[in-house]
């Protein structure tokens, strides 16, 4: 474990990025780059669960923690990702306390949740460390709830107050789409929603996260109190690097 949950509770800012390509090689490269965490994306990314396992193995030797975004709050999806060794789960499109409670059920063993018990899994070193893993799972596993809709904004205090919800994570594209102002992240309606999310998290003693589209915006959101911050993805890094190199070579050819 890379202690993501403990570090967030201590107020540390944790910088991360997305892994969209389903590649263990780009995961290894990104893991060596110096990020605190990465998000292995099973909602919109190209990879599947087997690819996620290989990515987790590629990240093992690095200091970078791995969160997996599952595609739904189905307990089976959540516990499979945790059994593979994810340090946290991000769940998209959570709109009500009942939605969030289903996530919590998958995160924790009884009596805190309803996670199924399997000892011979990668997370427990295939049974070698099961007792320690089970005992410390509540203090180590990070529960990240994505706030992406106007309906979710109606239940912020209730969602944030749930034990097991550690982070309210803003999905800028989906949230601005739901607000009817897609991509207008300086619009008063979006700013008001963002402030409401931060206020609810602060009231409950929880952290806030966000995906940035421009690293120059980092200080703005940090100063607002956001501490789980992501920017970029392996797909972006490869695409931008390839475009820059091609443009450089082509300009010299011309």
**Rounded distance between C-alpha atoms, residue 234 and residue 22, angstroms:** 9
**Rounded distance between C-alpha atoms, residue 55 and residue 66, angstroms:** 9
- Judged on CB neighbours under 10 Å (0-12, 13-18, 19+), 189 is middle
- Judged on CB neighbours under 10 Å (0-12, 13-18, 19+), 111 is exposed
10 Å Cβ neighbour count for 224? 14
Angle (nearest 5°) at CA 206 between 115 and 167: 55
Residues 6+ apart with CB under 8 A from 122: 53, 56, 83, 84, 85
Do the Cβ atoms of 158 and 97 come closer than 8 Å?
yes
Beta-bridge partner residues of 145: 91, 168
10 Å Cβ neighbour count for 253? 6
The catalytic residues are 44
Residue in the structure block whose two tokens are 């295939």: 126
């Amino acid at each position: 474990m890379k202690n993501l949950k403990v570090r967030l509770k201590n107020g540390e800012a944790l910088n991360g990025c997305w892994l969209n390509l389903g590649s263990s090689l780009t995961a290894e490269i990104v893991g060596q780059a110096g990020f605190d965490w990465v998000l292995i994306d099973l909602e919109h990314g190209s990879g599947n669960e087997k690819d996620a396992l290989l990515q987790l193995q590629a990240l093992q030797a690095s200091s970078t923690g791995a969160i997996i975004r599952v595609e739904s709050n189905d307990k089976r999806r959540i516990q499979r990702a945790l059994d593979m060794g994810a340090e946290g789960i991000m769940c998209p499109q959570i709109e009500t306390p009942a939605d969030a409670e289903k996530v919590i059920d998958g995160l924790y063993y009884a009596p805190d949740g309803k996670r199924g018990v399997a000892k011979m899994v990668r997370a427990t070193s295939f049974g070698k460390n099961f007792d320690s893993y089970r005992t410390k799972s509540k203090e180590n596993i990070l529960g990240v709830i994505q706030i992406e809709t106007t309906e979710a904004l109606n239940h912020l205090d209730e969602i944030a107050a749930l034990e097991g919800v550690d982070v309210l994570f803003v999905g800028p594209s989906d949230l601005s789409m739901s607000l009817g102002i897609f991509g207008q992240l300086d619009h008063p309606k979006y700013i008001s929603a963002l402030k409401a999310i931060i206020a609810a998290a602060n009231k409950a003693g929880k952290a806030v996260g966000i995906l940035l589209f421009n690293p120059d915006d980092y200080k703005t959101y940090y100063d607002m109190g956001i501490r789980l911050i992501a920017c970029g993805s392996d797909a972006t890094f490869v695409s931008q690097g390839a475009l820059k190199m091609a443009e450089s070579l082509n300009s010299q050819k011309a």
